[in-house]
Amino acid sequence: MTKPQNSLSKRDEIIEVASKLFYEQGYHCTGIQQIIQEAGAAKGTFYSHFKSKEELGIAWLKARHATWNHWLLQFINPKKTPKSKIVGIFDFLGQWMQDANFRGCAFLNTMCETPDCENALRLEISNHKRELFELFRALTAEHHATKTKIEQEQIATTLFILFEGTLIQLQNFQDLSFLQVAKKQVTALL
C-alpha cells in the first residue's frame, strides 16, 4: 500500500522520513539527528518546523492516521453492504499485514514504547483507535438496525476487539490462520 507522491515541502519530507524510520526502527530508537540527516535538512530547518521530537511524533501520527484511513476506506468503500464492509476491514487487515511484512500497527508499536498515558503521543493513538471503533459502531448499527442499541454496542465492541487482537497476533506469529479464525467469528456475529 503506497502513499501518493506529490511535491513535498521540507516539513512534509521530514515527516515522511520520520514515518519510515519510526515504523521500521521504533519511535524511541530513532534519533532526531538520523531524521535530519536522512531528510537532507539543516538542524535549523528541522527546529523551525518542530520544537521537539514529540511534536514531530504527533505530526507523524496524524499523517499516518490520514494515510492508514485512506488505505482502509479505499479498500472497503467499493463494498456494497455494511456486512461486506465489516468483513472487508478484516480482509484489509490481512493484506496490510502482508504488505507491511507483519510489522504491525505504528500506533500500537508506539503505544508500547510510551508508558505515560497522559503523553500527547498516547492521546493521538487513542484518537486513531477511537475513530476505528466508531467505524465498527456505525457499520454495525447499519447492519443490525433491528437490534437494540445495547446489542449493537456489544457486537461493535466485539468486532473492534477481534480486529485489534488479530492485528497483534498477526504481528506476533506472522500466521494468517489467526485471521481466518477471526473472520469466522465476525461472520457469526453478523
pLDDT at 14 > cutoff 70: yes
Ramachandran quadrant class, 101 (left: phi over 0; alpha: psi -120 to 50; beta: rest): left
Mean pLDDT in residue range 55-60:
97
Mean pLDDT in residue range 8-14:
91
Domains in the chain with CATH codes: 1-50 (1.10.10.60), 61-189 (1.10.357.10)
Rounded to the nearest 10 degrees, the angle between the axes of helix 82-99 and helix 149-173 is 20
Is residue 140 within 8 Å of 77, Cβ to Cβ? Answer: no
Rounded to the nearest 10 degrees, the angle between the axes of helix 149-173 and helix 120-143 is 120
- Give the residue from 58, 166, 77 showing the smallest Cα distance to 122: 58
pLDDT at 145 > cutoff 70: yes
What is the C-alpha to C-alpha distance for residues 19 and 106, in angstroms, rounded to an integer?
9
Render pLDDT for 83-109 as a digit per residue (tens, 0 to 9). 999 999 999 999 999 999 999 999 999
pLDDT at 6 > cutoff 90: no
pTM, two decimal places: 0.91
Q: Is 117 helix (H, G, I), strand (E, B) or coil?
A: coil
